[in-house]
Amino acid sequence: MKVTVDLDKCEQNALCTGIAPTVFELSPDDHLTVLDDNPDDDLTPSIRAAAAACPRQAILLTGA
């Protein structure tokens, strides 16, 4: 699975970082970073949960 975030949609509310903290990180200056854009399969459930929780539909999952 490839994980990307549409930063134009992201509103930096940190929902995804709380659900999948090893994949998503919010910097002190409110910039969202994908720490691991090709994560192991065991992280798939938490990444899907993060994508579902994102109110802006900013998390894009491909090849899943």
Residues that bind ligand SF4 (CB under 6 A): 5, 10-16, 24, 32, 54, 56, 58-59
Token reading at 40: 């192991």
Instruction: Name beta bridge partners: 24.
Output: 34
Residues 34 and 60: their CA atoms lie apart, in Å, by: 11
Cβ nearer to ligand SF4, comparing 47 with 58: 58
Residue 18 CB, nearest approach to ligand SF4 (Å): 9
Cβ nearer to ligand SF4, comparing 10 with 47: 10
Cβ nearer to ligand SF4, comparing 24 with 47: 24
Q: How many Cα atoms are found within 13 Å in the side-chain-facing hemisphere of 24?
A: 31
